[in-house]
Amino acid sequence: MQPHLATAIRFVIVLAGVSGLMVLVHRGLRLLNVRREAATGYALITPWLVGFLVFTSFPMIASAYLSFTDYNILQPPNWVGLENFRRIFTRDIDFWPAIRLTLLYAFLSVPIGVAGALVVAMLLANDLRGIGIYRTVYYLPTVLPEVAVALLWRWIFNPQAGLLNRFVVPVFRLFGLSRPDWFGDPTYVLPAFVIISLWGITGVNMVIFLAALKNVPLHLYEVAFIDGAGGWKRFRHITVPMISPVIFLQVVRGIIGALQIFTVYAFTNPTPRAGKFMSFYIYQTGFQQFRMGYASALAWILFAIILVLTLMVLRSSEMWVYYEGERK
Amino acid sequence: MVRRIAPVLVLGMLISGLLFAGGAAEADPDAPVEIRLATWAGASEANELQEILDELNDRSETYYITQESSPAEYYTNLQTQVAGGTAADLMWLDQDNLIDFAARGALLDLTEMIEGDDHPAADLDGYFETPLERFTYDGRVYGLPWISMPVMLYVNVDHMREIGVDPEQINDWTWSEFRDAAIELTRDRQGRTPVDSGFDPDDIERYAFSMVPGWPPIQQWIWQAGGEELTEDLSASPIDSDAALTGAEFIYELLHEYHIAPSQSIIGDRGFDQMMRDGQVSMFMGGAADDLERNENYEIRAFVLPAGPTGSRANWAWIGGMAIWRGTDHPEIAYEAFMDLSDAIHHWKVPSPRIDLANAETIIELQPHKVDSAENIITSLEHLRAPNLFPGYSEWATIFGERYVDPIVRGDERPADIASDVRAMLEDVLEDYR
Amino acid sequence: MSTVQGAAGGKLAWWESRRTRDTILRSISYVVVIAGAVVLTVPFLWMLSSSLKPAHAVFASPPEWIPDPVMWRNYVDAWTAMPFTRFLINTVFIIALGLSGELLSCTVVAYGFARYRFPGRNVLFIILLSTMMLPYVVTLIPTFLIWRTLGLINTFDPLVIGAIFAWGPFHIFLLRQFMLTVPVEMEEAAIVDGAHTMQRFAYIMIPLIRPALLAVGVFTFQAFWNDFLGPLIYLNDMSKYTMNLGIYFFMGGPAEAPQWHWLMAMSTMLALPVLVLFFLAQRYFIEGLTVTGLKG
């Protein structure tokens, strides 16, 4: 048990150190005549700030630096300037298909995911009999280990024996279409992944909405009820505004998750003719082809895309997100 | 007062806490040195390997080998460890990765050490040429192979008898006999073959063959037809030459005109070799170590691959081996452990890359179920061929696989239509690494 | 505008009455919820049934739902094929430290962002959010280098110490969002009573956001429980491996076929604790909300 003990001791020391640092920050700022409220605020976010400076900013800066180099992981990087980016935008045969597939997937799956999770949460917010069991069942998908889930998808999407095609093939026959080979035919790869993304409306997303729904003060509904507002109106004018911070959270999380989809793709092995998802492409260039510099450049482009989309959502959020407890 | 000192004290403890992590206890100079071994071994392979290691560790006074196995994401793990300077002393590598690791200076050059060594595994003349060559780079030896596996044609002999083919003739097959048998073996639910009228490719009960993008490698047919996918001087990828196209077109015809193999999704779901075991597929090309012969319902045997138009039976070699990390703290001791372990693995895995161990008797002794296949495995070793490798090979192979093989095998593209475009892409990569 | 005028109007048809509509809605809810539950259970049942089959029967077509014979020994075999007891101890250890560090630090940081005004707060918060976005592939090696410099490779530290520094931006975000929905008047009342920052935090905010804390707790537990890449990169000795790393031993390799039945058995074992935890916790973090002061 020696390694456990050593880690436990270091854990406690670091914990104490961080707490001490918080006190120190507060006192130091007060000595510098910083307002009490600001000093407290800075002290409270100190743990994150230190972690960010040490464990996040360094890797981010390092990867930004690497994006301007030729780095094969096993030898020190070589500075190549903008060469990686030039190549990505002019010569890379995989880049644009990857961007296209990834963005399309995000635009399709995020709205479906957020709306779906909200609907499921509203259903499960009812006091049905045995609701705890249902909620647990709806949480099932997120607790299965990823390997098992990936295997499951292969089984469900199997063109011959798969569960999905038992329902889909008769419908397709009506329209004169042949049996879809979900991962083998480039036409069906994107739809297949959007279907897979439905899986994400249960689990964590549903739980967050569920908690948010329960957080809406009941008296607001009671007032609306007395005023004679119908179900849709109550939903539109009470539920949505009250949980809008959480909807915002889910949209942002959805975008980030959708643009970084990786594991299912890697395990289901769809045909590359449909394009590859960006994060898989980055992994492939970085770790399978030893081109970490190039992969870093790709990653920063993906990062920029996510950032721009998030900022757009953030900007728009000022119009529709309502914070009851916010102090401007 | 105390309140003022406390934070400083805590910070001091924090720093010292992080420091003491680095200083481990000094080791006894006479005790055996720990040599770490990185492997991709799964559960049962790791357990078998552990028995070998226990035996070696008991015998040695200078080292003891500890196993660090990561069956998934093995190479990601390995690269991170090498980049961070904490890699294992010994590591298992396959042919593709050996060249990458060697070219990037991650491996210890063993050339001199091996020259003055009389260890049985250090006799380089005792190895087959192809596997040894794949573990050398720029004329220097960077590792030793411990397995050199030819691709065999596994055949359900019962199915063959059923269509009137004498199993004894399979070793003499050419492509056309292979095709005729494949057509005869493939049956839809009404018992029709692909050349019968009314054959329904969506309702096939038994397939003759099994093929997915990447396996068996399409390169085999290109080679057997006398073509090249990558020339030895690494200057060109003439996949649009007549010979190379003959090989690729042969596969295209079998898959898309005769429907002799199920789609990748079906194979992926059923398990790659499971359909063969269950009698739903009659022929399968697999590594010589696959244990398809172990089957209660069917007699399955491994044969030499059918010969192409040039008479070549070239088959794809999968070569696994071991190398020493250049950053090891104890090069001499690591080398000693490396040699002992290589020798031990040569007596464990079949077929061995060593000529004296690669014989039918050894194979049968180690793998009794291979009794009818052993001779053919030895014959196949003569036709072993490995791709020409270079440090950008994985990038090259990605394009070859995604732009050429996948469209042909999983899609519906004629090789002749796409070969010259793909050639240009492949040669772009060659250009970059020149 | 509104089509429904409420139950007071006597001229409504029977299907317009609120009670009937509620009953119909309720029935529809039941049907939909049950249908969804059935769909979601199928994969789990398949996993469960596969875990009790002999190796070769896992992919039988058409699928057999009831294993015959029932191979209970798959669980024992899988557990003993690798030192899983050891793996379990390691996993529990990592979770115990990581979970406590994460909950403590994230709540404190979220409180700072939610309730205190200070220069640069919004910029810092956007930076915090953006740290969720950089693909791990490219930060993997730099991060590894930090831990190597600290001499902590092949220890549990890289997996747990970071938790003290609130490394889950999403968790901070989630907690902050919940704190923002708490009316600020409650704390202002406490300020009038002369409560200190930490007192307000501990006695007013924490009880109010308990459901969010529980949710973050469950998510963190699950993240540690399912973490694969972290243990893979940082732990070398097999004696330090975690449960989730352990099941990858059944995935096979170049010379070994995957052991699906064992994989499924261990996957079931991995899924069960999280399910039980969720079942127990969900009452508190979803139902528990009604007893807090939020009702107004």
Q: A61-99 pLDDT, tens per residue?
A: 999 999 999 998 888 899 999 999 999 999 898 999 999
Residues 396-415 on B with a CB inside 8 Å of A are: 398-399, 401-403, 406-407, 410-411
**CB proximity C146 to B under 8 Å:** no
Best probe of the C interface among A56, A259, A261, A262, by most C CBs < 10 A, is A56
Q: How far is A242 from chain B (nearest CA, A)?
A: 42
Rounded average pLDDT over C270-294: 66
Rounded average pLDDT over A243-266: 83
pLDDT band at C85 (very low <50, low <70, confident <90, very high): very high
In chain A, where the domains are located: 2-66, 88-320
Q: Do B425 and A24 touch (CB under 8 A)?
A: no
Residue ranges, comma separated, of all CATH 3.40.190.10 domains in chain B are 33-150+318-385, 151-316+392-433
Nearest-CA residue of chain B relative to C235?
B68
Q: Do B402 and A159 touch (CB under 8 A)?
A: no
Q: How far is C221 from C96, CA to CA, in rounded Å? A: 9
Q: Specify the DSSP class assigned to residue B89.
A: S
B106 pLDDT higher than 80: yes
B169-175 long-range contacts, CB within 8 A, separation 24+? B170/B303, B171/B303, B171/B304, B171/B376, B171/B379, B173/B303, B173/B306, B173/B307, B174/B306, B174/B307, B174/B308, B174/B309, B175/B224, B175/B250, B175/B306, B175/B307, B175/B308, B175/B309
Q: Do A287 and B10 touch (CB under 8 A)?
A: no
Q: Do A14 and C161 touch (CB under 8 A)?
A: yes
- Residue A249 CB neighbours (<10 A): 25
Q: How far is C167 from B259, CA to CA, in rounded Å? A: 53
CATH code at B151-316+392-433:
3.40.190.10
pLDDT band at C5 (very low <50, low <70, confident <90, very high): very low
Instruction: Please tell me which residue, B225 or B116, carries the higher pLDDT value.
Output: B225
Maximal C-alpha separation, chain A = 78
Q: Do C115 and A327 touch (CB under 8 A)?
A: yes
**Unique residue bearing structure tokens 């406590």:** C100
Question: Which residues of chain B lie closer than 8 angstroms to C249, CB-CB?
Answer: 42-43, 46, 69, 71
Q: How far is A124 from chain C (nearest CA, A)?
A: 7
Nearest CB to A327; choose among C42, C117, C296: C117
Nearest-CA residue of chain B relative to A23?
B7
Q: Indicate if the alpha-carbon torsion angle A130, A132, A133, A138 is positive or negative.
A: positive
Any residues with CB less than 8 A from the CB of C92 and at least 6 apart, and which? none
**Subunits touching B (CB < 8 Å, at least 3 pairs)?**
A, C
Nearest-CA residue of chain A relative to C219?
A204
Residue pair B204/B259 in contact (Cβ under 8 Å)? The answer is yes
**CB proximity C164 to B under 8 Å:** no
Any residues with CB less than 8 A from the CB of B225 and at least 6 apart, and which? B243, B244, B246, B247, B250, B308, B309, B310, B312
Q: How far is B278 from B206, CA to CA, in rounded Å? A: 10
Any residues with CB less than 8 A from the CB of A163 and at least 6 apart, and which? A155, A156, C42
Rounded average pLDDT over A248-269: 82
The two structure tokens encoding residue B394: 């994985």
CA distances from A264 to A45, A147, A165, A183, C275 (A): 35, 9, 19, 12, 22
Average pLDDT, rounded, for chain A: 85
Per-residue model confidence (pLDDT) at position C17: 67
Q: How far is A310 from chain C (nearest CA, A)?
A: 9
Instruction: Please tell me which residue, A4 or B23, carries the higher pLDDT value.
Output: A4
Nearest-CA residue of chain C relative to A74?
C141
Per-residue model confidence (pLDDT) at position B268: 64
Per-residue model confidence (pLDDT) at position B35: 95
Question: Which residues of chain B lie closer than 8 angstroms to A17, CB-CB?
Answer: 10-11, 13-14, 17
Per-residue model confidence (pLDDT) at position C151: 87
Residue pair B376/B178 in contact (Cβ under 8 Å)? The answer is no
Residues 228-247 on C with a CB inside 8 Å of A are: 228, 240, 244, 247
Q: A10-49 pLDDT, tens per residue?
A: 999 999 999 999 999 999 999 999 898 899 999 999 999 9
Per-residue model confidence (pLDDT) at position A137: 85
Nearest CB to C248; choose among B22, B71, B320: B71
Q: How far is A107 from chain B (nearest CA, A)?
A: 26
Q: Do B265 and A291 touch (CB under 8 A)?
A: no
Instruction: Please tell me which residue, B167 or A262, carries the higher pLDDT value.
Output: B167
Q: How far is C120 from A211, CA to CA, in rounded Å? A: 30
Nearest-CA residue of chain A relative to B264?
A184
**CB proximity B424 to A under 8 Å:** no
Q: B237-250 pLDDT, tens per residue?
A: 999 999 999 999 99
- What percent of chain A is predicted at pLDDT more than 70? 97
Residue pair A286/A69 in contact (Cβ under 8 Å)? The answer is no
Question: Which residues of chain B lie closer than 8 angstroms to C233, CB-CB?
Answer: 76-77, 80-81
Per-residue model confidence (pLDDT) at position C288: 44
**Subunits touching A (CB < 8 Å, at least 3 pairs)?**
B, C
Any residues with CB less than 8 A from the CB of A216 and at least 6 apart, and which? A238, A239, A242, A243
Q: What is the CA radius of gyration of chain B?
A: 25
Residue pair C220/C103 in contact (Cβ under 8 Å)? The answer is yes
Question: How do strand B140-141 and strand B90-94 relate by DSSP bridges?
Answer: unpaired
CA-wise closest residue to B97 among B149, B140, B135, B130: B135
Nearest CB to C137; choose among A43, A228, A283: A283
Burial class, B431, CB count within 10 angstroms (exposed 0-12 / middle 13-18 / buried 19+): exposed
Per-residue model confidence (pLDDT) at position B2: 41
Q: How far is A131 from chain C (nearest CA, A)?
A: 9
Q: Specify the DSSP class assigned to residue A306.
A: H
Give me the phi and psi of C72, to 5 degrees please: -60, -25
CA-wise closest residue to B211 among B299, B287, B273, B279: B273
Instruction: Please tell me which residue, B290 or B321, carries the higher pLDDT value.
Output: B321
Nearest CB to C250; choose among B42, B83, B84: B42
C14 pLDDT higher than 60: no
- HSE (side-chain half, CA atoms, 13 Å) at B276: 27
Q: How far is B92 from C46, CA to CA, in rounded Å? A: 36
Nearest-CA residue of chain B relative to A73?
B83
CA-wise closest residue to C134 among A125, B279, A6, A62: A62
Q: Helices A204-214 and C260-286 meet at what angle, rounded to 10?
A: 10
B344 pLDDT higher than 90: yes
- Residue C41 CB neighbours (<10 A): 14
Q: Specify the DSSP class assigned to residue B405.
A: I
Q: C145-175 pLDDT, tens per residue?
A: 888 888 898 899 999 998 999 888 888 988 8
Q: Do B7 and A21 touch (CB under 8 A)?
A: yes
**Subunits touching C (CB < 8 Å, at least 3 pairs)?**
A, B
Residue pair B153/B303 in contact (Cβ under 8 Å)? The answer is yes
Q: B247-266 pLDDT, tens per residue?
A: 999 999 999 999 999 887 77
Question: Which residues of chain A lie closer than 8 angstroms to B410, CB-CB?
Answer: 184, 271, 273
E strands, B100-150, where? Answer: 136-137, 140-141, 143-149
Per-residue model confidence (pLDDT) at position B39: 93
**CB proximity B14 to A under 8 Å:** yes
Whether cis (ω within 30° of 0) applies to the bond prior to B351 is: yes
C6 pLDDT higher than 50: no
Question: Which residues of chain A lie closer than 8 angstroms to B18, CB-CB?
Answer: 10, 14
pTM (2 d.p.): 0.86
CA distances from B2 to A28, B10, B222 (A): 16, 12, 81
Instruction: Please tell me which residue, A6 or C249, carries the higher pLDDT value.
Output: A6
Per-residue model confidence (pLDDT) at position A128: 75
CATH code at A88-320:
1.10.3720.10
Q: Do B411 and A271 touch (CB under 8 A)?
A: yes
Q: A157-204 pLDDT, tens per residue?
A: 877 767 788 888 888 888 888 888 888 888 899 999 998 888 877 777
Best probe of the C interface among B274, B345, B349, by most C CBs < 10 A, is B274
Residues 52-111 on C with a CB inside 8 Å of B are: 56, 58-59, 61, 81-82
- HSE (side-chain half, CA atoms, 13 Å) at A98: 26
- Which residues does residue A124 pair with via DSSP β-bridges, in sequence order? none
Q: How far is A133 from A127, CA to CA, in rounded Å? A: 12
Nearest-CA residue of chain B relative to A183?
B265
Average pLDDT, rounded, for chain C: 80
CA-wise closest residue to B292 among B304, B305, B317, B275: B275
Q: How far is B93 from A291, CA to CA, in rounded Å? A: 19
**Unique residue bearing structure tokens 């910070």:** B11
The two structure tokens encoding residue B397: 């192979």
Q: How far apart are the first and last CA of chain C?
A: 30
Q: Do C255 and B270 touch (CB under 8 A)?
A: no
Concatenated DSSP letters of chain C: --S---TT-TT--GGGSHHHHHHHHHHHHHHHHHHHHHHHHHHHHHHHHHTTS-GGGTT-SSPPSS-SS--THHHHHHHHHTTHHHHHHHHHHHHHHHHHHHHHHHHHHHHHHHH---TTHHHHHHHHHHTTSS-HHHHHHHHHHHHHHTT-TTSSHHHHGGGGG---HHHHHHHHHHHHTS-THHHHHHHHTT--HHHIIIIIIHHHTHHHHHHHHHHHHHHHHH--HHHHHH--SGGG--HHHHHGGGG-BTTB---HHHHHHHHHHHHHHHHHHHHHHHHHHHGGGGGSGGG-
Q: Do A159 and B263 touch (CB under 8 A)?
A: yes
Average pLDDT, rounded, for chain B: 88
Q: How far is C5 from A229, CA to CA, in rounded Å? A: 8
Q: Do B104 and A287 touch (CB under 8 A)?
A: no
B234 pLDDT higher than 80: yes
Burial class, A211, CB count within 10 angstroms (exposed 0-12 / middle 13-18 / buried 19+): buried
pLDDT band at C62 (very low <50, low <70, confident <90, very high): low
CA-wise closest residue to C174 among A215, A50, A102, A139: A215
B163 pLDDT higher than 60: yes
Q: Do B268 and A154 touch (CB under 8 A)?
A: yes
Q: Do B80 and C141 touch (CB under 8 A)?
A: yes
Best probe of the B interface among C137, C232, C249, C260, by most B CBs < 10 A, is C249
Q: How far is C69 from chain A (nearest CA, A)?
A: 22
B288 pLDDT higher than 90: no
Q: Indicate if the alpha-carbon torsion angle B222, B226, B231, B235 is positive or negative.
A: negative
Q: Do A50 and C165 touch (CB under 8 A)?
A: yes
Rounded average pLDDT over A240-269: 82
Q: How far is B325 from B322, CA to CA, in rounded Å? A: 10
B66 pLDDT higher than 50: yes
- What percent of chain B is predicted at pLDDT more than 70? 92
Q: Does the structural domain B33-150+318-385 have CATH classification 3.30.300.30?
A: no
Q: Do C252 and B147 touch (CB under 8 A)?
A: no
Q: B6-63 pLDDT, tens per residue?
A: 555 445 554 554 444 444 445 566 789 999 999 998 888 888 999 999 999 999 999 9
C58 pLDDT higher than 80: no
Q: Specify the DSSP class assigned to residue B27.
A: P
Q: Specify the DSSP class assigned to residue A56.
A: I
CA distances from A228 to A231, C11, C203, C235 (A): 10, 15, 38, 62
